[in-house]
């Protein structure tokens, strides 16, 4: 029953997010602030992880392909496919559930604990629209972040080839251009869009409806990370089944 109640409350929160909008001059600033906090503030960690994991994927693939009958350009091909289809949209989204999700839950949760949300409500402001909608709009730019992750992941693989000698850079470049299907990019961005929605709303739900004190803010952040990750994995499976099979 509790789960049903939570799911109902979550969908009511989403509906409320679009009702009674906050004044545009105020909302504009909130959106820009959230773009800075959630997107620009995540560029560093996304770039770092994407670059090195791209390198590791290339090294692992190269080391595991020791059959002389398998062409060397397959390293680039496998790296590209892994990064475009799974690593960038899904793996980075789980990292972001930890980074951005915890930030959203703890910032909204702290506002709940310190009665700042009550203050908004007393003033007659739709607090869900004021707090959650700017995050939702800011995370519409999330595909841009994933795009950078894709580029740097593939670049990381090339750098591993250049400096690690696991594969010839020419073979790698041939591999990344081989059999390219543009729909894979569409598929990756559809997933990214869905994950962006989850990243904005699930942590907001856990922060907004939390009760208790400072300790509960920490617990809510952990719970929000777990549930965001669970739904990312589940929807990843469903979307892959629907779009690629």
Between helix 127-138 and helix 2-17 the angle, nearest 10°, is 80
Question: Torsion angle of alpha carbons 150, 156, 162, 165, nearest 10°?
Answer: -110
Cβ count within 10 A of residue 167: 25
Among 4, 23, 24, 69, binds other proteins (CB under 8 A): 23
Separation CA 164–CA 245 (nearest Å): 36
Binding residues with other proteins: total (CB under 8 A): 17
Among 56, 125, 147, 178, binds other proteins (CB under 8 A): 125
**Under rule CB under 8 A, residue 36 binds other proteins:** no
Q: Choose between 34 and 171: whose C-beta lies nearer to other proteins.
A: 34
Q: Contact letters (x/-) for other proteins, 95-114, by CB under 8 A?
A: ---------------x---x
**Under rule CB under 8 A, residue 9 binds other proteins:** no
Among 118, 186, 212, 230, binds other proteins (CB under 8 A): 118
Looking at residue 86, the DSSP 8-state letter turns out to be I
Report, in Å, the least distance between residue 43 CB and other proteins: 21
Report, in Å, the least distance between residue 123 CB and other proteins: 6
**Under rule CB under 8 A, residue 5 binds other proteins:** no
Q: Choose between 68 and 124: whose C-beta lies nearer to other proteins.
A: 124
Structure token pair of residue 164: 């690690």
**Under rule CB under 8 A, residue 224 binds other proteins:** no
Residues 6+ apart with CB under 8 A from 117: 108, 111, 127, 131, 208
**Under rule CB under 8 A, residue 119 binds other proteins:** yes
DSSP 41-85: GGHHHHHHHHHHHHHHHHHHHHHH---TTS-TTHHHHHHHHIIII
Among 7, 12, 26, 244, binds other proteins (CB under 8 A): 26
**Under rule CB under 8 A, residue 121 binds other proteins:** yes
Quote the Cα angle for 72-78-83, to 5°.
140
Structure token pair of residue 236: 């990843």
Looking at residue 22, the DSSP 8-state letter turns out to be P
Structure token pair of residue 31: 């959106």
Among 68, 124, 182, 241, binds other proteins (CB under 8 A): 124
Among 67, 123, 182, 215, binds other proteins (CB under 8 A): 123
Report, in Å, the least distance between residue 26 CB and other proteins: 6
Q: Which residues bind other proteins (CB under 8 A)?
A: 20, 22-23, 25-26, 33, 110, 114-116, 118-119, 121-125
């Amino acid at each position: 029953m509790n789960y049903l109640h939570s799911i109902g409350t979550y969908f009511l929160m989403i509906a409320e997010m679009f009702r009674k909008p906050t004044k545009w001059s105020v909302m504009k600033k909130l959106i820009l602030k959230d773009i800075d906090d959630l997107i620009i503030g995540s560029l560093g960690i996304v770039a770092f992880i994407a670059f090195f994991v791209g390198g590791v994927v290339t090294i692992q693939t190269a080391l595991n392909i020791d059959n002389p009958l398998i062409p060397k350009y397959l390293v680039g091909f496998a790296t590209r496919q892994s990064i475009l289809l799974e690593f960038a949209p899904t793996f980075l989204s789980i990292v972001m559930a930890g980074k951005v999700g915890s930030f959203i839950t703890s910032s909204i949760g702290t506002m709940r604990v310190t009665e700042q949300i009550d203050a908004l409500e007393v003033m007659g402001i739709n607090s869900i629209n004021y707090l959650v909608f700017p995050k939702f709009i800011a995370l519409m730019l999330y595909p841009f972040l994933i795009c950078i992750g894709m580029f740097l992941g593939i670049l990381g693989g090339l750098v591993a080839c250049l400096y690690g000698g696991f594969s010839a850079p020419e073979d790698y470049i041939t591999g990344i251009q081989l059999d390219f299907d543009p729909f894979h990019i569409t598929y990756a961005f559809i997933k990214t869009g869905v994950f962006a929605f989850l990243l904005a709303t699930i942590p907001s739900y856990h922060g907004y409806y939390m009760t208790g004190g400072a300790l509960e803010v920490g617990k809510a952040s952990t719970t929000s990370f777990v549930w965001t990750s669970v739904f990312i994995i589940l929807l990843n499976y469903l979307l892959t089944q629907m779009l690629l099979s």
